[in-house]
Structure 1
């Protein structure tokens, strides 16, 4: 990167850290530290909720997801508004009535301490892993693109977050997330605009949409019902609804965001803001990925987007064979470019016959191109054992570094770092508060004063930050980073949501029944996922988003059966 880009990048990041520390200086009581003083307005709550979910994974993986698989991932968010309404109606009033610091305090009131501890423990496991991923996700990409050491990158991101999160708690997180959301969305909208203006002369936004659509990248909605399909309309409004209810309704990293509201109404408005704006936000990011795909229909893309790994291949005995694949890829691109130009001309002329012919030719060339990319990835796996051969998460930032002008590159890197910091800060804040309130204060030291618990919260937040850096330094890439986050959530969220659903709607079910039912459900989900992974799931074959609905229902069913058996 240029000197200007470095200045933009580090100037932005250091300003965020300094702003967070300065705005929350003088935080001296636990209520202010854990709930931000309960004076946050609805729009700030909405931005904080969105920033917590919009991790660096969103901006790294989502464009690459659209590039390779089209925009069907947007269906994952169709159930979000439904979940926000349900949480605003059923969850929020109870949290406000009890004046809880964490969501899990309510479970002891409804059931008993062991059920509270179980839910809080599951949260700590999955969110502790999640915090590691939200640091690791940008680190693995940025370390490769910038030539930094991976562990050093993890430490830089983690330390910057730890500084202001430990210093100011919830208020620091909320204050910094307002600035981070402005940087993130401003940078992405600018990047989308630059993608469009960088298309060849005579190819406008409408032409780009036509090309993307004809090549299957605008596959926004699929109404076909298929349990094994991760992303379709039905998984979006069923399985994803359960996931969002779990995440926004029972995950302390989100609950803590809206418990800082001035009133129940302010918190509800913040949730509704998230429900209304999150889907368009994801649509824009996916559309940017689709436009990057179109850009590379007119401009030669690399056969593999991770340049660092490519350079390693050139140092192996596979170098000549790999260069041969690159040459074949270029030949296919030249022929495909002619077909794409013919498709654009046919669309402009309105000749549907010519459009159909050109479309068939373009997609045939794309199939050949994809086959060469698959062959290149397989060769990389042989040439560089242990190298990550999935380059989806490198597509967008490779485009940024190769095409965008000086200054904008630094800004887009700042977007990724800011996103990592915003989500990680919320997670560390929630992990620290849950450890303090649900474990330390409840089981270890019940007679401490306010100052003692404030210091304890800071120490636990620091400890979780260090642990997140350690986890980030030991991870390896999943198929796709954004799917990794959703998978971890889908494995653990269903059990916690099931406990809360039983608590809210099944008053006759008592603590022992729901505790045993939750444990059995958690075991069942892990076993089912393992069977799905090895292809032996049988009738339980399903995409992981369905785990959210299935696991929640299992908790209810198991709890009810245990209740009936115990009542006899």
Structure 2
């Protein structure tokens, strides 16, 4: 892609603004309270927009339009479970984390189950986030390479160092405020893309809705042979039904808002419980329309390319090219000067907002849950602040090295690695927190029974999916449901073990 002078000016202005935010807040970071939770003074609208920036990654910018362009709106279906999850988060999960000036999501696990379970939760989060960081940076580098004439190594190192610098020096203040900026830029980029498409069509937006609607492109349906096919709404563990997709969506959102440090840290950074709740409502009424808008962008691109013949668009629709290439292709070929630069900035913002949050969260959990709690208790706050910045720097290096490794690995290796680690490390966390939130039953011993049962279950499904077990011993259900079943196992085994021990104590003879 050859950017014009105006495009470069817009892109560099955005990058400079992000860097200056980090430099500005570096002066405030004189304590861990500031570095981790920003002095607990953020208003709800800021928290809400930062949550949007954190949750909206390159998937929103690339995958949503790609899916709507090639198929229909089925990918949007799991998002419809978000309102239910946020109501539970606002009135059940949030109050637990607002008590006692918590900083980490895993402090709750110690209060409820003991220090060993807290360590498990913290380590599982850290390892999973390191994998996630490497993957997002690698995906960001692919996007950068499609938009700019740079090598994979340069794209990975430059993007990683840039995000790392403003995150390390600026702390959570820089993370939250750059996420707000990145959310705004992402929305502007999408709006401009739709405007360019609509302006090029004689019938404008009405034409998009008429032609796409007639073709079934807005349907919550599977797409086969160029036609929408209604999905099954029944319950099934052997196929992906609409009802099961909603349950998967609910499970994922509940996990995000009950046990993910990226989210819980924003609960803790709010100036009050009321402002934290307000942030959740801002997130709900911003994120759902944003995801829908990017789906609409993909649908509009389909109508656009019905009237502007293009070999790449035809290749995507025919399955000869990856659907995720359609957005970069449209940006490079059809956007006017100036707008292209802003949309490239939006593409970068989509990934950067996820990277900076994870770097800061890993640093926070490492210090609060492990280093200060177990490895070096009783040191000065300035010592912990220096350690936090050092860990954030180390995470940045690990992220870059991981992305470089992924760049040399095969696609199947990438998919297998992510599936295995996420399944093993993330399995059961929602079930563990639900056991803590909704029941007084169980201690560390009961929790570990649930954890071990879930690890055995997920290990079994992973081995079977990779052909390492005989067919007869492989999972008899769609692996799409591994997380849902794993959380149920964690909840039921943990609760059952607690009741059994309680019953045993009641019936034990007095000594």
What SS is found at the alignment partner of 2:269?
A: coil
Are 1:234 and 2:243 matched, yes or no?
Answer: yes
What SS is found at the alignment partner of 1:238?
A: helix
**Aligned pairs for 1:155-194 within 5 A:** 155-194=157-196
Are 1:553 and 2:485 matched, yes or no?
Answer: no
Match of 1:426 in 2: 357
Are 1:32 and 2:15 matched, yes or no?
Answer: no
Contact conserved, 1:495 with 1:551, CA < 8 A, in 2?
Answer: yes
Contact conserved, 1:122 with 1:496, CA < 8 A, in 2?
Answer: no
Describe the shift of the 1:483–1:296 C-alpha distance in structure 2 as closer, same or farther (beyond 3 A). Answer: farther
Contact conserved, 2:441 with 2:499, CA < 8 A, in 1?
Answer: no
Match of 2:478 in 1: 542
Taking the aligned partners of 2:286 and 2:181, their CA distance within structure 1 comes to 17
Describe the shift of the 1:561–1:126 C-alpha distance in structure 2 as closer, same or farther (beyond 3 A). Answer: same
Taking the aligned partners of 1:228 and 1:400, their CA distance within structure 2 comes to 39
Match of 1:289 in 2: 298
Contact conserved, 2:146 with 2:328, CA < 8 A, in 1?
Answer: no
Aligned-residue offset at 1:66? 1.4
Are 1:243 and 2:252 matched, yes or no?
Answer: yes
**Aligned pairs for 1:262-281 within 5 A:** 262-281=271-290
Contact conserved, 2:442 with 2:499, CA < 8 A, in 1?
Answer: no
Taking the aligned partners of 2:323 and 2:277, their CA distance within structure 1 comes to 36
Contact conserved, 2:28 with 2:34, CA < 8 A, in 1?
Answer: no
Taking the aligned partners of 2:419 and 2:219, their CA distance within structure 1 comes to 21
Aligned-residue offset at 1:532? 4.8
Contact conserved, 2:147 with 2:344, CA < 8 A, in 1?
Answer: no
Are 1:205 and 2:205 matched, yes or no?
Answer: yes
Describe the shift of the 1:402–1:410 C-alpha distance in structure 2 as closer, same or farther (beyond 3 A). Answer: same
Describe the shift of the 1:291–1:487 C-alpha distance in structure 2 as closer, same or farther (beyond 3 A). Answer: farther
Aligned-residue offset at 1:536? 7.2
Deviations 1:388-414 (A, max 9, x none): xx6222111101111110111111110
Specify which of 418, 432, 440 is matched with residue 499 of structure 1. Answer: 432
What SS is found at the alignment partner of 2:311?
A: coil
Describe the shift of the 1:120–1:416 C-alpha distance in structure 2 as closer, same or farther (beyond 3 A). Answer: same
Match of 1:387 in 2: none
What SS is found at the alignment partner of 1:473?
A: helix
**Aligned pairs for 1:201-350 within 5 A:** 201=202, 203-220=203-220, 222=231, 224-225=233-234, 226-228=236-238, 230=240, 233-303=242-312
Taking the aligned partners of 2:95 and 2:155, their CA distance within structure 1 comes to 42
What SS is found at the alignment partner of 1:219?
A: coil
Aligned-residue offset at 1:513? 1.6
Specify which of 384, 393, 401 is matched with residue 470 of structure 1. Answer: 401
Aligned-residue offset at 1:22? 1.1
Match of 1:121 in 2: 123
**Aligned pairs for 1:295-444 within 5 A:** 295-303=304-312, 370=317, 373-374=318-319, 377=320, 391-444=322-375
Taking the aligned partners of 2:416 and 2:300, their CA distance within structure 1 comes to 21
Contact conserved, 2:42 with 2:271, CA < 8 A, in 1?
Answer: yes
Specify which of 511, 519, 529 is matched with residue 452 of structure 2. Answer: 519
Aligned-residue offset at 1:154? 1.3
Taking the aligned partners of 1:153 and 1:408, their CA distance within structure 2 comes to 22
Aligned-residue offset at 1:491? 5.8
What SS is found at the alignment partner of 2:405?
A: coil
> Superposition RMSD on alpha carbons, in Å?
2.6
Stretch moving more, 43-52 or 483-492: 483-492
Unaligned stretches of 5+ residues in structure 1: 306-328, 331-368, 378-389
Contact conserved, 2:97 with 2:264, CA < 8 A, in 1?
Answer: no
Contact conserved, 2:10 with 2:342, CA < 8 A, in 1?
Answer: yes
Taking the aligned partners of 1:57 and 1:208, their CA distance within structure 2 comes to 23
Contact conserved, 1:498 with 1:518, CA < 8 A, in 2?
Answer: no
Match of 1:458 in 2: 389
Aligned-residue offset at 1:563? 3.5
Describe the shift of the 1:555–1:395 C-alpha distance in structure 2 as closer, same or farther (beyond 3 A). Answer: same
Deviations 1:457-499 (A, max 9, x none): 11111111111111122225869x9999899766644411111
Match of 2:507 in 1: none
Deviations 1:508-532 (A, max 9, x none): 2221121121122133124325535
What SS is found at the alignment partner of 1:163?
A: helix
Match of 2:78 in 1: 76
TM-score, L = length of structure 1: 0.80
Taking the aligned partners of 1:510 and 1:498, their CA distance within structure 2 comes to 14
Contact conserved, 2:131 with 2:418, CA < 8 A, in 1?
Answer: no
Describe the shift of the 1:441–1:241 C-alpha distance in structure 2 as closer, same or farther (beyond 3 A). Answer: same
